[in-house]
């Protein structure tokens, strides 16, 4: 049988608290379970981080890119005001607006003709682009034929 002194462990994990042997064994089992739980949680966190990293690289499911992106399309045509503002870089928009308002119609006409030329350029480039890229490659849904009921 055990003596009262053998019932206590002197080198217990908690200082100055005499643990009974059965309590120490329970504590060791408890620590092993906690360690296993911590390791499992770390594995889950790492798996989630890897999954998020893959999602970031691939994109969201169901949001796959279709064909060529819009970046490959021709640049949109510039307006007369946009062409005017390009001749005044670094100035605030409010100041450019005041300068635009102060222009006479004949001065504005120069920018309007350039804008029309740019519009023609855009239309021509867009026709070429559409000829090279079928609707599927443009990212547009192809219309399905309607059923005759």
- On the question of pLDDT at 58 being above 60, the answer is yes
3-state helix, strand, coil in the chain (%, to 5): 60, 5, 35
Nearest to 129 by CA among 52, 76, 84: 76
In whole angstroms, give the CA distance from residue 83 to residue 118. Answer: 10
| Strand intervals (E) in the chain | 8-9, 19-20
Percentage of residues of the chain with pLDDT beyond 70: 64
Which pLDDT does position 1 carry in this prediction?
45
Which pLDDT does position 122 carry in this prediction?
94
Beta bridge partners of 8: 20
């Amino acid at each position: 049988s055990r003596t009262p002194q053998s019932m206590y462990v002197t080198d217990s994990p908690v200082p100055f608290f005499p643990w009974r042997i059965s309590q120490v064994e329970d504590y060791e089992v408890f620590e092993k379970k906690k360690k296993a739980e911590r390791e499992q949680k770390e594995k889950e966190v790492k798996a989630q981080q890897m999954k998020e990293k893959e999602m970031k690289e691939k994109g969201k499911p169901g949001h796959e890119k279709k064909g060529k992106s819009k970046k490959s399309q021709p640049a949109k045509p510039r307006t007369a005001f946009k062409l005017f503002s390009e001749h005044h870089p670094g100035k605030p928009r409010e100041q450019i607006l005041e300068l635009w308002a102060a222009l006479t119609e004949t001065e504005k006409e120069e920018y309007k003709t350039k804008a029309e030329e740019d519009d023609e350029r855009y239309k021509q480039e867009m026709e070429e682009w559409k000829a090279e890229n079928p609707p599927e490659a443009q990212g547009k849904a192809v219309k399905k034929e309607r059923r005759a009921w």
